[in-house]
Amino acid sequence: MSEEIKTFKVTIDNITIDVAPGTTILNAARQIGGDVTPPAMCYYSKLEGSGGKCRTCLVEVAAGSTADPRPMPKLVASCRTTVMDGMVVKNITSDKVLDARNGVVEFLLINHPLDCPICDQAGECHLQDLSYEHGTEGTRYEFKRRTFEKEDIGPLIQLHMTRCILCYRCTYVADQITDKRVHGILDRGDHAEISTYISKAIDNDFSGNMIDVCPVGALTDKTFRFKNRVWFTKPVDAHRDCENPKCCGKATLWLRGDEVYRVTTRTDPWGEVQSFDGKPGWICNTCRFEKKKTSDWVVEGLTTISRHSVIGANKYAKLEMPKDTIKEVLDGRDPKLLMDIHSVSGVNNPEIYLSELDRPAHIEDFAKPTEHKLDKPGQPSLLNEEKK
């Protein structure tokens, strides 16, 4: 008889779910989905060691566990805190969490330039979405912003350090999926910056994945810079047989007409790379930068984009019409039939429906003045009286 798998019950925003031991609060909330899930700017489930840097995923633990129901004295980072059996967590139902998240966003925007109109990340920027939800209209910061010179860290990637929020994601990518890492965090405190050691270029086969994991516009694709806006392009899923054994060969093509403007990894609803066969679907630089023709790929179909995303506007696989509750209440009957508009107004010819005409309406399509229905029976027509 197989042993029963032990699970923990955790309640997040009054929703209870069973999760495996060792699951973090953030991943437990992602199983619920929706607004219950805290935002994350530095955590990336496919990268070991990520999380605990940005503090945007702070939550309130109202009860530690069934054995010890005392609340935790301070807000905790949900990406680094594992659940306990009977734990009660508050996210959007806690005023303290929302107030702290507003403060974290204000700190992230202190040095971040508000150049969304010229930033290639606009439309798919996680910080942009976060600032709309938790940001303020003005700023209280009166000092000079931290600025850096733009730097090319390779022939295909440009680093705009002024936009960086030091989430460390790109360094984890270079450290875990490439043969060698030649860049990292230099200096400390307000002078900390991401750069290459001794200005050495990054030239490994998977360096382009750093662009995909960047939550802001700090790392951009030089082959796509200033060429188009993401909401003007159409994302489609495609695959090819890549020669690199470490490349999954499955990507998203961003088309404008038949032209491929850029190639990226496929992402899940949380903005992270999708997994295939239990492994993250990273793609090599050959697929990303060199295969820019639709003939190089086997197009599978339209990429599933959230309806709330600006990228998904008018790009749905099928038209989703809202539910017509009036017809449902009337057993499918058209409300106009109950009103009997044609016989009441007397304007239209009852045998002709203007909405069904495949041409402009003519005078013959309307009722004659002598047949006007608004005149009372036994009285002369008002229109005829005016003619006299």
Looking at residue 386, its pLDDT comes to: 45
Task: Choose among 195, 280, 288, 296: nearest CA to 246.
Answer: 280
Confidence check: pLDDT of 318 > 60: no
Distance between CA atoms of residues 56 and 339, nearest Å: 55
Is 99 in the same domain as 16? yes
Range of the domain at 83: 8-103
Q: Which of 194, 221, 248 is the last residue in one of the domains?
A: 221
Of 52-56, 106-110, 309-313, minimum mean pLDDT range: 309-313
Q: Is 120 in the same domain as 213?
A: yes
Q: Which of 192, 221, 250 is the last residue of a domain?
A: 221
Tokens standing for 128? 């942009």
Q: Which of 41, 72, 103 is the last residue of a domain?
A: 103
- Give the three-state DSSP class for 245: coil
68, 14 Cβ separation under 8 angstroms: no
Instruction: Tell me the per-residue pLDDT of 189-229, one tens digit each, with 9 for 90 and over.
Output: 777 877 665 456 677 888 899 999 999 999 999 999 999 99
What SS3 class is residue 345?
helix
Q: Are residues 21 and 90 in the same domain?
A: yes
Q: Does residue 184 fall inside a structural domain?
A: yes
CATH of the domain at 179: 3.30.70.20
Same domain (yes/no): 209, 190: yes
- Same domain for 239 and 209: no
CATH of the domain at 79: 3.10.20.740
Q: Which pLDDT value is given to residue 383? A: 44
Residue 51 has pLDDT above 70, yes or no: yes
Q: Are residues 192 and 255 in the same domain?
A: no
Quick one: 27 and 92 in the same domain?
Answer: yes
* 9-23, 169-183, 368-382, range with the lowest pLDDT: 368-382
Number of structural domains in the chain? 4
Q: Do 259 and 303 share a domain, yes or no?
A: yes
What span, in angstroms and rounded, lies between the C-alpha atoms of 242 and 2?
A: 42
Model pLDDT, residue 361: 78
Looking at the structure, tell me whether residues 92 and 118 fall in a common domain: no
Pair of tokens at residue 189: 């405190």
Pairing mode of beta strands 58-63, 76-77: antiparallel
Q: Can you tell me the mean pLDDT for 177-198?
A: 71
Query: Tens digits of per-residue pLDDT, 254-299?
Result: 998 889 999 999 999 898 999 998 889 999 999 999 999 999 999 9
pLDDT at 382: 43
Position 318 in a domain:
no
Q: Do the domain assignments include residue 355?
A: yes
Q: From CA 273, how far away is CA 231, in angstroms rounded?
A: 20
Report how many helices (DSSP H) and strands (DSSP E) the chain contains, helices first. 10, 16
**Residue 134 falls inside a structural domain:** no
Please tell me whether residues 48 and 120 are part of one structural domain: no
- Bridge partners of 12, per DSSP, are 15, 89
User: Which is nearest to 216 in space by CA: 268, 287, 261, 168?
Assistant: 168
H-helix segments, 214-329: 285, 325-329
Do 251 and 155 lie in one domain? The reply is no
Q: Is residue 135 one of the residues assigned to a domain?
A: no
Confidence of residue 384 (pLDDT cuts 50, 70, 90): very low
Of residues 89 and 3, which shows the higher confidence score?
Answer: 89
Mean pLDDT across the stretch 325-345?
Answer: 59
Return the pLDDT at 346. Answer: 57
- Alpha carbons 153 and 181: distance in angstroms, whole number: 12
Estimate the share of the chain in helix, then strand, then coil, as percent rounded to the nearest 5. Answer: 30, 20, 55
**Do 304 and 340 have their domain in common?**
no
SS3 171: helix
Residue 296 lies in a domain: yes
Q: How far is it, in rounded angstroms, from Cα 140 to Cα 146? A: 16
* Residue 58 included in any domain: yes
pLDDT at 144: 87
Question: Does residue 295 belong to any structural domain of this protein?
Answer: yes
